[in-house]
Amino acid sequence: MKSHALLASLLATGLILSGCGSDKAATEKEPAETAAAAPTDLQQETDAYKQFALEQMDQFVVETDKFVSAVKEGRIDDAKAIYPLARMYFERSEPIAESFGDLDPRIDARLADLEDEGQGEEEWSGYHKIEYGLWVDNTTEGYEDVADQLLKDAKELRARVETVEVGADLMITGAVDLLNEVSTSKITGEEEIFSHTDLYDFKANVEGAEEIFHIFEAVIKQKDAQLATDLTNKFSTLNGLLAKHEDGNGGYISYEELTKEDTKQLADAVNQLGEPLSMMGIVME
């Protein structure tokens, strides 16, 4: 849905709410007071989300720089430690990153993604290619040029985010897409197939979706208080399940350590969150 449709709906809601009292009370209101009671647009919310995305991109560049330095200096253990943390900044803000169709795959494509599109390993670049070097080849040698290009791409992405026009439709669709990514690739362990650091990506996607909900939460409460409560509770449940798999050092255990019951619980929690999250768009139409 488009931002102007959301605006019209919100204005209508505000007018309905302002007319819920007695007719006399309504006639006694000053025009300025009536106008103030109705939200005029969602500029504050969209500005807040763009600021969030820019902050994430700033940190993504900083951490990618550290990662690239470790790779080029042959510090394998350091590179492995930085890898999942740096990627979390990208995953949280992926609704905006994905709007750049050329940069997103250069930074984040898995080899399987390229093969699905008829491309080969020679066209593979970015974090996952270096992931292969670190965890499969157990080396950084030969990955220096890939690392340099990754940093250039990260910096270009940060610069391009400045130019994005953020609308409520991008945010709402983005929140649902983030959760869909969790259910289609993170929950299966195929995103980080070499490092098995999928739970970091899982958490970051959830945080990205939750941030969008929090930005819109006050508006959603006005229109459907029960939906806002349901989303708060279901995000809490999912985050609680993820917390059980923390490693005690600020990170998460390997995806390979999860049992079938663990993944079932996580999948169920994601599915239960998905339905009310998708309702967010309908409520705000």
pLDDT (tens, 9 = 90+) of the chain, 285 residues, equals: 434 334 333 333 333 333 444 443 443 444 433 333 344 478 999 999 999 999 999 999 999 999 999 999 999 999 999 999 999 999 999 888 888 878 988 999 888 878 777 776 778 999 999 999 999 999 999 999 999 999 999 999 999 999 999 999 999 999 999 998 898 888 888 899 999 999 999 999 999 999 999 999 999 999 999 999 999 999 999 999 999 999 999 999 999 999 999 999 999 999 999 999 999 888 877
Residue holding tokens 């970091």? Answer: 200
- Position 22 scores a pLDDT of 40
Give CA–CA dist 128/83, Å, rounded.
Answer: 10
Are 285 and 13 in contact, with CB atoms under 8 Å apart? Answer: no
Which pair of structure tokens corresponds to residue 212?
């969008």
- Select the CATH number that applies to the domain covering 3-12+42-283 from these four: 3.20.20.70, 3.40.50.300, 1.20.1420.20, 1.10.20.10: 1.20.1420.20
Torsion of CA 132, 138, 139, 145, to 10 degrees: 0
- Position 148 scores a pLDDT of 98
- Position 84 scores a pLDDT of 98
Domain residue spans in the chain? Answer: 3-12+42-283
For 121, counting Cβ atoms within 10 Å of its Cβ (0-12 exposed, 13-18 middle, 19+ buried), the class is exposed
Give how far Cα 15 sits from Cα of 26, 34, 111, 271, Å.
11, 8, 53, 35
User: Across the strands, what pairs with 252?
Assistant: 246
Give how far Cα 177 sits from Cα of 96, 109, 155, Å.
11, 17, 24
- Position 133 scores a pLDDT of 97
Give CA–CA dist 221/72, Å, rounded.
Answer: 50
Give φ, ψ of 252 to 5 degrees.
Answer: -130, 155
Which pair of structure tokens corresponds to residue 44?
């504050």
Are 142 and 133 in contact, with CB atoms under 8 Å apart? Answer: yes
Q: Which DSSP letter does residue 246 get? A: B
Give CA–CA dist 98/95, Å, rounded.
Answer: 6
